[in-house]
Amino acid sequence: MHKGFYTLKWEGDSVSFIDQRKLPVEEIYVSCRTYKEVAEAIETMVVRGAPAIGVSAAYGIALGLIKSTDTEIYKYEAGFKEICDIIGATRPTAVNLFWAIERMKKAFAEIRGRTSSVSEISAHMLSEAHSIYDEDINVNKAIGRAGSSLVKSGMNILTHCNAGALCAAGYGTALGVVRAAFEQGKKIHVFADETRPFLQGARLTMWELMKDGIDCTLLSDNMSGYMMSKGKIDVIVVGADRIAANGDAANKIGTYSVAVLAKHHNIPMYFAAPLSTVDINCPSGGHIPIEERNLDEVRVINGKSICPPDAKAVNPSFDVTPNSLISGIITEKGIIYPPFESGIKSLFSGGDL
Ligand code: MRU
Q: What is the pLDDT of residue 350?
A: 86
250 CA distance to ligand 1 centroid (A)?
A: 9
291 CA distance to ligand 1 centroid (A)?
A: 12
241 catalytic? Reply is yes
Whether ligand 1 lies within 6 angstroms of the CB of 49 is answered as yes
In CATH terms, 8-141 corresponds, of 1.20.120.420, 3.40.50.2300, 1.10.760.10, 1.10.4080.10, to 1.20.120.420
Tell me whether the CATH fold assigned to 8-141 matches the one assigned to 150-348. Answer: no
Catalytic residue among 193, 241, 248, 319: 241
Mean pLDDT of the chain: 97
Q: Residue type at 44?
A: T
Cα distance between residue 339 and residue 34, in whole Å: 44
* Whether the predicted pLDDT of 219 surpasses 90: yes
115 CA distance to ligand 1 centroid (A)?
A: 38
Whether ligand 1 lies within 6 angstroms of the CB of 129 is answered as no
Cα distance between residue 50 and residue 172, in whole Å: 10
DSSP 241-288: SEEETTS-EEEETTHHHHHHHHHHTT--EEEE--GGGEETT--SGGGS
* Whether the predicted pLDDT of 58 surpasses 80: yes
Name which CATH class applies to 150-348: alpha beta
Q: What is the pLDDT of residue 175?
A: 98
Whether ligand 1 lies within 6 angstroms of the CB of 159 is answered as no
* Whether the predicted pLDDT of 1 surpasses 60: no
Residue-wise pLDDT for 132-155, tens only, equals 999 999 999 999 999 999 999 999
Domain boundaries, given as residue ranges, for the chain: 8-141, 150-348
Instruction: Give mean pLDDT, residues 14-28.
Output: 98
pLDDT band with cut points at 50, 70 and 90 for residue 2: low
* Whether the predicted pLDDT of 7 surpasses 90: yes
pTM: 0.97
Residue-wise pLDDT for 263-305, tens only, equals 999 999 999 999 999 999 999 999 999 999 999 999 999 899 9
Residue-wise pLDDT for 102-135, tens only, equals 999 999 999 999 999 999 999 999 999 999 999 9
Whether ligand 1 lies within 6 angstroms of the CB of 50 is answered as yes
